[in-house]
Amino acid sequence: MRKIAILIVTLLVSSFSVDIANSQTELAPLPPNYRAQIVQVISKRYDLTQIRDAGITPPVKKCGLFLCNHWMFCVATVADFKFGDRLFGGGLTYSVISVWFNNGQAEVLGSTMVNGRGSATNKRLNVGGCGGKVTSPFPEIVRGKPLS
């Protein structure tokens, strides 16, 4: 009897979630200045002057339990870092920063360190909810360069 009750509840919940997914509206369009917003929100958390290479994924739908209602991007960065008074070039470790848009405003979700070599562009990112997307150049964020 208990197994039947669990089965019925499971079926009800799954049909409810399918109804919600089918009835959801389209995602709001990205703001026209979304790249500038991403640079701004990342610059509040990280030192952009240390970034020497960066790439950004195309937008990915960020899904919760029932709805896909946010746009998300992943930004891969290669940074220089200091150890004492010596400056070392990055390139062995990437930082992948996940950014999403909530009500038209960019917010940093978190970051992950990933091993690798070479450029931060043309990298397939399988971390941070990036969905295996490939990065394209993101020069606006390199060394804190202002948008032109």
Q: Over its length of 148 residues, how does the chain's per-residue pLDDT go in tens digits?
A: 666 656 565 655 554 444 444 444 577 888 999 999 999 999 998 888 878 889 999 998 877 666 677 889 999 888 766 555 555 555 545 788 889 898 889 999 888 887 767 788 888 888 767 878 899 999 998 876 654 4
In whole angstroms, give the CA distance from residue 104 to residue 89: 35
CA 83, 89, 91 angle in degrees (round to 5)? 120
Paired tokens of 54: 């960066």
Paired tokens of 9: 């509840």
Q: What pLDDT was estimated at residue 35?
A: 94
Q: What pLDDT was estimated at residue 49?
A: 82
pTM summary value:
0.71
Spatial contact of 68 and 24, defined as CB atoms under 8 Å apart: yes
> Alpha carbon 91 to chain centroid distance?
20
